[in-house]
Amino acid sequence: MGIIVASLKLYFELQVDYACSPEEVQQHFQSCGTVNRVTILTDKFGQPKGFAYVEFVENDAVQNALLLNESELHGRQLKVLGTISLVVNILWNLLC
């Protein structure tokens, strides 16, 4: 099961299949909002670590991406989780 974490900076961290390309990750999340950048982390040898960061342009994209909980990417189920900073951001917007 993959894990996606949302943060205040509109980034998501997710576990992805090692064969997944940035373009495939972007395509998976483009329905959530405008994807500014996808970064797949690599080790010192240039091999994918199985983690990626997705940066969105719009604030609403974060909430939309949370709706992709348990969706599949490259045959791998993703788990979408919000970080404490995202929860603080949502509460701040609700209370202020």
How large is the average pLDDT for residues 56-80?
82
Tokens standing for residue 83: 């970080």
- Which of 86, 88, 69 lies closest to 3, judged by CA? 69
Task: Label the pairing between strands 2-6 and 76-82.
Answer: parallel
The pLDDT assigned to 36 comes to 84
Q: Which two tokens stand for residue 17?
A: 């299949």
Domain range for 79 is 2-95
Q: For the domain that residue 73 is a member of, what is the CATH number? A: 3.30.70.330
- Between 11-15, 27-31, 34-38, 53-57, the lowest mean confidence (pLDDT) is in 11-15
Average pLDDT over all residues of the chain: 75
> How many residues would you count in the chain?
96
Per-residue pLDDT for 1 more than 50?
no
When divided into structural domains, the chain yields a total of 1
What average pLDDT does this structure show over 80-91?
56
* 8 A C-beta contact, residue 68 and residue 29: yes
Write out the two tokens for 32: 């959530």
**Hey, what amino acid is at 72?**
E
Tokens of residue 1, six digits: 């099961």
pLDDT at 4: 47
Model confidence at 27, pLDDT cuts 50, 70, 90, reads very high
Percent of the chain with pLDDT over 70: 67
